[in-house]
Structure 1
Amino acid sequence: MLKINTSILTPGMVLAKPIYDAQGKLLIDRNIKLKKLYIDKLIQYKIEAVYISWNKENLSDVSEMITEETKLQALKVIKETVNNINITKHIDLRELETAITDIIGELMSDKGILLNLTDIRTIDDYTFGHSVNVCVLSLIMGIALNYDKESLKVLGVGALLHDIGKVQISSDILNKPGILTDMEYEEIKKHSFFGYGMVKNIEGIKKEIAWIIRDHHERYDGNGYPNGLWGENIHVFSRIVAICDVYDALTSNRIYRSGIPPHQAIEYLIAMGNHQFDYNLVKIFLRHICIYPIGTVVKLQSGEQGVVVELDEYCPTRPIIDIVRDMNGRSLETKIRVDLRKNLKNGIVSILEAV
């Protein structure tokens, strides 16, 4: 399967994965041949990219480690939690833990496979989709660190709730399309402390969950907020969520800017290792998050264009590529397979929407 931008879909292409709207309602199921009417509907619902079937006999399948049903249930739970906490001052921990347990079960059943998160967000709503993404990313890291299931549940709940304090921030500021003023930015920064205040005294909330909510913007070098904690004075769960929060924020489309490609976000995390982030944790992240998912269309330093067909978790920046266009942009009758682990003079320079 191949992920392509909705704007370049053409009638006759076949969907490889189902498409859902913001409420989790199925719009178009997998294996449906697209008609112009369907394409127009996807554009109307602001679905930015979809997976289509493409040369199945020659291209490995993308591993779906988290099912759509599990993602949608986590989205439902975080929405209900945010909507209810201001009214009831209570959090249904059992419902949260059930959603987290389902995610953990699916992730652990495929342990060792690189996680493709370029399409995990099933709705355009940044806040809720972001919370689920950060939760899954954090749990991947927790599993890689061999945490037991109880620790994973605590980490997962904290990651899912990490931005809950934003309910007390004006929506005009949260959704502002332009650059924030200094005063508005200071207001945004209060969300971590607001969230901590909302949950710290709720019965059953572990202190580590409250710390994640309070400290996910603390930085390894002490230049974060709200308390300027540094190094291992920041609990490891908060350090994990900090990395996952920034990665997902960088790669997500926001009202005021488009997301950057995953490989650029990875480069940022590496550059900020032992400055903003614990570099030992960054290395764990790099080993388990897929920079170039199978099916990604790329351009190489040589000028050739190709599709990622195989990954190596120990060398995520140098996948195996099937070259489909030469350096002059001409289609090749026979694909040429290039293993970038062995061809160090070549490398990926950019991600393309299509070949």
Structure 2
Amino acid sequence: MIALDIYKEVNELIPGSFLKEDLYANTRNPIMVKDTKLMLEHFEVLHSFGITRVLVESKALSKIEQGPTEKITEVKLTPEVEKQMTQNAPTKSRSLETLYDEAVESYRKEFISYRSGKKLDVAAVRTIVLPVIQAFLENKDYVRRLNEFSTLQNYRAHHSISVGILAALISEAMGYPRGQVLQIGIAGVLADSGMAKIDEKIIDKVAFLTSEELSEVKKHVIHSFQMVNDSSLVRQEMKVAILQHHERFDGSGYPRGLKGQEITEISQILSVADVYHAMASERPYRQKESSFKVIELMREEEFGKFDMKVIEVLHELINKLSIGTKVKLTTDEIAEVIYLHRDFPLRPIVKVLDTGTHTDLSSNRRISIVKIF
């Protein structure tokens, strides 16, 4: 074993090394303190703040002791995800779902602690959610199954984790750099943290809310902002996005009724992720909608409220269709896409496989796609 204080490149760090100085990143308080044992989730934090070299006392094996094949040159995935990358698809899916479930349960406990007055610990939230966000970034196809993971029980924690995953995927697809993508994912998770300050009887109410109760719920964005405002681990643009994630382009949102370009793009990313997951999830007062139906509603019935560029990116991630794609219809029939309409990308012409009949979903609105195979 070695125990030397030495500056090392982040990409060459080995899990188990100990940080030997407080780390700052244009912040008043350190983002990591001396003697932190560096694990995979810490490497992502270092990358997100653009830190390339750190002073460490290595408690891991030296390169000679490891052997030439065991050098770690880049850390992207948690051990669980690296393992499941080498397995077949069904096992891979189960592993990803396990990672998701663990994040939901851990965040549920954090959320309960906020109710009891504990200060929001951004570093703890990062440790919880970075592995699952990273896993979905490396396995993008599984975002189509994200809403299958969510359950009515513990909906609030499911929603927060899912919004973080969706926001990270959308922002990456829009070209944001990885460090910012991870920050946006964290902001998505924390956007509804202020719900912990709202009376449980209100947020768990099955019946319609009164105007007074609705006004109380709307305050959650201010509570969320206040809970993260003092943290040096959350960038200012993310704090703004958390505050604005219920604003709408047409001015119908809250808390300030902002319009158009007054709302930041990151705020819109959080907004789209938040609304999509809420509408596609089962709630006590309504059944969940298919991802196709939700995006169609956001594109058409909610037109003018969201940045269409963000909606289109979400559509590409979740429901992108091409000629030959096999789909399941609301009639329970299996069909094949044979023609795509430019103006109605979610309503192609399909051929029902059992009968060979053609159906134009753009004109037959009683039938829609519920699933891609």
Q: Partner residue of 1:173?
A: 202
Instruction: Identify the residue that residue 80 of structure 2 maps to in structure 1.
Output: none
| Mapped partners of 1:221, 1:96: distance in 2 | 33
| 1:116–1:290 CA contact under 8 A, matched in 2 | no
Pick the structure with greater CA Rg. 2
Aligned to 2:262: 233
Q: How does 1:304-343 map to 2 (within 5 A)?
A: 305-307=332-334, 315-318=345-348, 323-324=353-354, 326=355
Contact 1:65 1:107 in 2 (8 A): no
Give the direction of change, closer, same or farther, for the CA distance of 1:74–1:114 in structure 2 (3 Å limit). Answer: closer
Q: Of residues 123, 139, 146 in structure 1, which corresponds to 2:175?
A: 146
**Alignment CA distance shift 1:295-1:170 (3 Å):** farther
- Give 1:217 deviation, angstroms: 0.5
Q: CA separation of 1:80/1:144 partners in 2, compared to 1, >3 Å: closer, same or farther?
A: same
The counterpart of 2:223, out of the listed 194, 209, 221, is: 194
After superposition, the Cα gap between the structure-2 partners of 1:116 and 1:308, relative to the gap in structure 1 and judged at 3 Å, is farther
| Structure 2 length-normalised TM | 0.63
Residue 290 of structure 2 corresponds to residue 261 of structure 1: yes
Once the two structures are superposed, the pairs formed by residues 14-33 of structure 1 within 5 Å of their partners are: none
Distance 2:336 2:124 in 1: 38
2:134 is matched with which residue? 105
Separation in 1, partners of 2:94, 2:118? 34
Which 5+ residue runs of structure 1 have no aligned equivalent? 1-59, 327-335
Match of residue 245, structure 1, among 274, 284, 292: 274
- Distance in 2 of aligned mates of 1:167 and 1:192: 11
Question: Could you tell me how far 1:74 is from its partner in structure 2?
Answer: 2.1
> Cα 1:205–1:85, aligned 2, differ >3 Å: closer, same or farther?
farther
Inter-CA distance 173–88: structure 2 relative to 1 (3 Å threshold): closer
What CA distance in whole angstroms lies between the structure 1 residues aligned with 2:280 and 2:196? 23
2:353 aligned partner, one-letter code: I
Counterparts of 2:91 and 2:299 in 1: how far apart (Å)? 26
C-alpha deviations, 1:167-208, integer Å up to 9, x for none?
A: 111111111121111111111111111111222113423223
Judging changes above 3 Å, is the alpha-carbon distance between structure 1 residues 93 and 198 closer, same or farther for their aligned structure 2 residues? closer
- What secondary structure does 1:91 align onto? coil
Matches within 5 A, 1:46-61: none
Determine the structure 1 residue equivalent to 2:162: 133
Cα RMSD of the aligned pairs, angstroms, is 3.8
Distance in 2 (alpha carbons) for counterparts of 1:62 and 1:277: 37
Q: How does 1:38-53 map to 2 (within 5 A)?
A: none
How far did 1:112 drift?
Answer: 7.0
SS of 2:175's partner is coil
Query: Is this contact kept in 2: 1:340–1:347, CA < 8 A?
Result: no
**Residues 280/251 of structure 1: CA separation in 2 closer, same or farther (3 Å cut):** same
Q: Percent identity?
A: 23
Matched position secondary structure for 2:163 = helix
**Separation in 2 of the partners of 1:96 and 1:312?**
45
Aligned to 2:74: none
The alpha-carbon deviation at position 309 of structure 1 amounts to: 7.3
Task: Report how many residues are paired.
Answer: 277
- Name 1:298's counterpart in structure 2: 329
User: Is 126-135 or 105-114 further displaced after alignment?
Assistant: 105-114
How many angstroms does 1:158 deviate by? Answer: 0.7
Query: Does the Cα contact within 8 Å between 1:135 and 1:160 map onto a contact in 2?
Result: yes
Q: CA deviation at 1:124?
A: 2.5
Q: Which amino acid aligns with 1:266?
A: I
Q: Distance in 2 between matches of 1:311 and 1:94?
A: 49
Q: Which among 221, 242, 247 is matched to residue 213 of structure 1?
A: 242
The aligned amino acid for 1:349 is I
Q: Is the 8 A contact 2:272 2:311 kept in 1?
A: yes
Would the aligned equivalents of 1:165 and 1:193 in 2 still touch at CA under 8 Å?
Answer: yes
Instruction: Give structure 2 stretches of 5+ with no counterpart.
Output: 1-88
Distance 2:328 2:189 in 1: 31
Equivalent runs, 1:56-67 vs 2, <5 Å: 64=93, 67=96
User: Which amino acid in 1 is paired with 2:224?
Assistant: G
Q: Give the structure 2 partner of residue 71 of structure 1.
A: 100
Whole-Å separation in 1 of the counterparts to 2:311 and 2:159: 19
Distance 1:187 1:284 in 2: 32
Normalised by the length of structure 1, the TM-score is 0.66
Instruction: Tell me by how many angstroms 1:69 deviates.
Output: 2.4
Once the two structures are TM-superposed, the CA of residue 320 in structure 1 deviates from its matched residue by: 6.8
Give 1:346 shift: 7.7
Question: Structure 1 residues 319, 115: CA separation in 2 closer, same or farther (over 3 Å shift)?
Answer: farther
Which amino acid in structure 2 is aligned with residue 102 of structure 1?
A: P
Contact 1:65 1:115 in 2 (8 A): no
Letter of the structure 1 residue corresponding to residue 334 of structure 2 = V
Tell me which residue corresponds to 2:54: none
Q: 1:178 to 1:154 in 2, by over 3 A?
A: same
